[in-house]
Chain A
Amino acid sequence: MSELCFEAVGHDELRNVTARFGAGSHVVLGTEQAGTATLIALAAGCAKPRAGRLVLGARAPWSDAGTRRTIASLTAEEPLPPAHFVVAALELALRARGDARSGLSVLDAAGLARYERRPVSALSLREARAIALALALSHAAPRLLALHEPLSLVGFLSEDFVLQSLHKHRENGAIVLSTASRLEDAARLGGTASRLERGTWLDPESVPVQGLEIALRVRTPEPRRLAARLAEAPDITGVQWPGGQELLVRGSDLGRLAQSVVANARAEAIRITALKQEFPTLETLAAERAGLAQAAYERAQRQAEVRQP
């Protein structure tokens, strides 16, 4: 059975990513800056990893045309093949993967037939991505679907069409690797969730899918010692030292987090000169809220199922 393997892959934002994806659905949570776009570009064979090894089955997508032919992909930026009209650009891509269908049939199936006679140069970035998604989903028998933020294109394509096509490919044994920057999208895509944070790979076990993370900004003259102490504290999920005299300490409960920071500092006789909550960005908050809403919805659904005899 085919597996997509990243072995110590380093490229642009990605740092030493080691991961394996078997048949089925996989969602990688994270922003483009965290490296999700690069991850998909590498999986699609659009770029050669600067470090490490990436293989689908036993072959590297970058250096094997036969392997690339079995990959359907949607990257962050989609320059369609050069042609005056969209339909001609699609036909070039279809011929490249050895598919004899017409470009119009691909557009029609996705509900995008109105783009047939649209000049490629007149397409917006999102329109070009929507057309590329239609092309990717039209693949007859892909071994891998590598899709960057497919649900961000709902509106151009119907959500049902995207999810049903993904389901069909998954049922046929394909590896469906998607990225999502919103927890809500990840929940809708389903499957195993993993995460990329600033290029670092977090496997499914370490992904906190629900729960708002609290961060405290701690000012101290001895940040290194305090960080070493806090790294082992049970209520603290992460300690970051951005430099200077400040530490960013993360946890899930504000009261217990502050208590733990103070107790650990006191135990080591480390002076704390300031302690204040670090508020999340609006983007993070929105993503977390989307996740919480999903969790609440799932909880309610489970409770409803339990109530029914």
Chain B
Amino acid sequence: MSGIALGLALTRERLRGVSAPLVLLLGAVAVFAWGVLLRRGHPSSAADDTLGFAVFGCALPVFSYLLCERVCAGQSLTRSVEGVTRHGAQRRAVLFGVLLGSALSMALSSAVLTLAALLGAHPAGSALTNDLRASLGVALLAGAVYALWFAAAARFGRRGSGRKWALILDFLLGAGGSVLALPWPRGHVRNLLGGEPVLGLSQASAMVALALIGALCLAVCLAGTPD
């Protein structure tokens, strides 16, 4: 079995059980309810507001944080794969497998949350498919980038406590549109959803910026990791 396959197996085993799907289900129900509430007050902006605040502003970062904590078993990223690397698997390959598994899981979860929010925020028969088409791509990308973002943060601090700081800083600094918001995913995701851009970047540039953040996080996770 290759190192990447071992990493994927590690992720699968750690996410096994009812708690992860249950948290996702609760999140989906919450954003659906939020969408329904907003639809009753402001039907025209309910979808945008639900996606911008409830899904991509709150649920997605928090769920990514929790998933990273679970996949790393509460350890730092490198330490979390010791269970198999001590027997001879290559660390970088196993880490890549873990990151791949996390990114796929988060992309899927993010898509589920988006779907639930849009179902709640849209009246039946409205332009749901158009919104879905526009938001699912953003959801998949944002989910994967957030997974890599927290994984990179989990390389730092005792028992990967960098994760907490990544969550806090993304909430605080990513909320603005200044240069301070540039390195955090939140501002660019908001831009892709039609919200305030960071430094006036276009949506295409925001997509590139998100992809760059993801690539940088992947490099942080793998660079300097011994064999």
Q: Which residues of A contact B (CB under 8 A)?
A: 44-46, 48, 62-66, 68-71, 73, 79-84, 88, 92-98
Distance, CA A45 to CA B86, complexed state (A): 6
Of B10, B87, B91, B226, the most chain A CB neighbours within 10 A belong to B87
Enumerate chain A residues within 8 angstroms of B87, measured Cβ to Cβ.
68-69, 93-94, 96-97
**A80-B83 contact in complex given A65-B91, A92-B6, C-beta closer than 8 Å:** yes
Q: Which residue of A lies closest to B2 (CB)?
A: A95
The 14 listed contacts between A and B (C-beta, < 8 Å) are A46-B86, A48-B226, A64-B226, A65-B85, A65-B89, A73-B86, A79-B83, A81-B84, A82-B83, A83-B13, A92-B13, A92-B83, A95-B6, A98-B88
Q: How far is the CA of A66 from the CA of B73 in the complex (A)?
A: 26
CA distance A25 to B43 in the complex (A): 77
Kindly state the separation between the CA atoms of A268 and B14 in the bound complex, as whole angstroms: 68
Q: Return the contact of A65 from the options B9, B73, B90 (Cβ within 8 A).
A: B90
- Return chain A residues, CB-CB under 8 Å to B91: 65
Asked if residues B227 and A64 are in contact (CB atoms below 8 Å), the reply is: yes
B residues contacting A by CB (< 8 A) are 1, 6, 9-10, 13-14, 16, 73, 82-91, 226-227
Shortest distance between the CB of B15 and any CB in chain A (Å): 10
What's the minimum C-beta distance from A44 to chain B, rounded to whole angstroms?
6
Given the known interface contacts A65-B89, A82-B14, A84-B16, the answer about A92 and B84 at a Cβ–Cβ threshold of 8 Å is yes
Q: Which residues of B contact A93 (CB under 8 A)?
A: 83-84, 87
Question: In the docked arrangement, what's the CA distance between A73 and B147, Å?
Answer: 33
Point out the residues of chain B lying under 8 angstroms from A81, CB to CB.
Answer: 10, 13, 83-84
Partner of A68, one of B1, B10, B14, B85: B85
Give A88 to B6 CA distance when docked, in angstroms.
12
- With A65-B90, A83-B13 known as contacts, the answer to whether A96 contacts B226 (CB < 8 A) is no
Query: In the assembled complex, how far is the CB of residue A166 from the closest CB belonging to chain B, in whole angstroms?
Result: 19
